[in-house]
Amino acid sequence: MSSGQVLFSRKGAVGQILFDNQASLNALSFGMWRQLGAICQEISTDRTLRVVVLRGAGGKAFVAGTEIDDFLTFDDGDRGVDYEAEMDSYVGLVETLPMITIAAVEGWAVGGGLALSCACDLRIATPSSRFGSPLGRSIGNCLSAKGYARMAAHLGIAQAKRVLLLGEMLTADELLSHGVLTKVVEPEAFEQALDDLCLRASENAPLTSQASKTALWRIVYANLPNTDDLTRLVYGSADFRSGVRKFLNKEPRVWTGG
């Protein structure tokens, strides 16, 4: 069982959600995802908070995905549909926080980490940070319609295809050039730059911030198709079950398309 945890703290009007599972580069267990959801629900009505920062403990990773061993219990495609819906609910709770959210990325933001960084309103990263979601090279799963829409809205279709179809990890400088990152800052200046960004965000009219971010998310998710059939196809496949086992055993994956 994972010993990781998700912790909340605050300093004045700025809150922090910390992902702490350093032995696994802050990969989130299912339990940690649920802790995140509970924290978001608790702070969502706190009008004294103006900014919430999401970051990983240890300085080596933001969030390196979801702990893979949790997938060993999946036995059919419906389990995958339920899982993606549950993940959408937690990421959605981050997206719908009324205050401005900032992803402070140091190191890896992979899979669920990429999703959470995109769920935030602003992103700041160190130059060595890497962003990706190599589903087709790791365990052979897929995303929900919201997951694909979120990635396309932030990375753009072309960069999303590099991530999803080639399994590439995008650099901080690349994402800065595409406007995905607000700032890229050297490690020694990171804390000050993050504090400055929090201060500027906290000075914005809170109702304006809430209305603006909510309107933008409604536009991104308007008229999404139902893709449960695709999710069911992938999670119900022999490729997925084999991919999980081989990933955990550090064996080469052999995809059959079945």
pLDDT in tens, 37-89: 999 999 999 999 999 999 999 999 999 999 998 899 999 999 999 999 999 99
> What's the whole-model pTM score?
0.96
**Residue 121 within any structural domain of the chain:** yes
**Residue 11 within any structural domain of the chain:** yes
**Residue 223 within any structural domain of the chain:** no
Which domain does 88 fall in, by range? 5-187
Report pLDDT for 91.
Answer: 98
pLDDT grade for 2, boundaries at 50, 70 and 90: low
Instruction: Choose among 1, 54, 25: nearest CA to 198.
Output: 54
Mean pLDDT of 227-236: 97
pLDDT grade for 222, boundaries at 50, 70 and 90: very high
Distance between CA atoms of residues 26 and 12, nearest Å: 26
Mean pLDDT of 96-114: 98
**Residue 254 within any structural domain of the chain:** no
Token pair, residue 109, equals 């933001």
Number of structural domains in the chain: 1
**Residue 126 within any structural domain of the chain:** yes
**Residue 210 within any structural domain of the chain:** no
**Residue 218 within any structural domain of the chain:** no
Instruction: Give the domain CATH number at 140.
Output: 3.90.226.10
Q: What is the pLDDT of residues 134-187, one digit of tens each?
A: 999 999 999 999 999 999 999 999 999 999 999 999 999 999 999 999 999 999
Distance between CA atoms of residues 59 and 106, nearest Å: 5
**Residue 118 within any structural domain of the chain:** yes
Q: Cα-flanking dihedrals φ and ψ of residue 59, to 5°?
A: 80, 0
CA distances from 203 to 85, 151, 189, 198 (A): 35, 28, 22, 9
